Amino acid sequence: NELQLHYQPQISLEDGSISGAEALLRWTHPQLGAISPVEFIPIAESSGQIIPIGEWVIRTATSQLKAWLDNGLPAMVMAVNLSAVQFRQPNLTELVTNILKEASLSHEHLELELTEAVAMNDPQAAIAIMDKLFEHGIRMSIDDFGTGYSSLSYLKRFNVYKLKIDRSFVSNITDDPEDKAIVTAIISMASSLGMRTIAEGVETAGQLEFLRAQQCNEVQ
């Protein structure tokens, strides 16, 4: 019982409301203190422990969202990251569907995040998995967009509804003309493809204003 979830709010730029939250996995060890996910997630993946941990994360996050909604918070989405190992689980669709059923939540309340690198590792397989999830009403977004090696021809075939702009592009958008150009291009491309955009790591008023002016949908 040393793992816990922290929740980072996602804000709509259309009306300033909280549109969702991302569940972030954290580990506090009794002797070693806080251990970074950068350290423990790869170990969990290589050992196979990411499967039960990932299931616990989805179940805990959806239970938390149900509790918030039952307590009168407005409708929102819970975003949960999927590791490469989880994404390739043969029973992923059934697992997610069952967890939502247990929590008495409809599918539109959950969003599964997949990093661009994982999606592009085997794009044909990723397309098949995304299609199956989409058929069952489970929404997906591409995390860390712009940091991997996306083929735009594959992007249009991915059944995703949102691109998450990586914080490495957001941190200097008020000063760096290249970051401004990249972020503007991602937002414009996503909009043309019928996808929403969310920028992560937004920490200053200047960053917020730039993203609002470019019609980014959400910030985190």
Q: What is the pLDDT of residues 183-218, one digit of tens each?
A: 999 999 999 999 999 999 999 999 999 999 999 999
Convert the pLDDT of each residue in 12-63 to its tens digit: 999 999 999 999 999 999 999 999 999 999 999 899 999 999 999 999 999 9
Q: Which of these, 192, 184, 178, 200, lies nearest to 79 by C-alpha position?
A: 200
Cα 97 to Cα 55, 92, 113, distances in angstroms: 12, 9, 16
- pLDDT score, position 89: 87
The strand pair at 18-29 and 3-12 is best described as: antiparallel
Looking at residues 4-9, what average pLDDT do you find?
96
Sign of the Cα pseudo-torsion (91, 124, 80, 49, in order): positive
| Mean pLDDT of the chain, nearest integer | 91
Residue 151: the pLDDT is 63
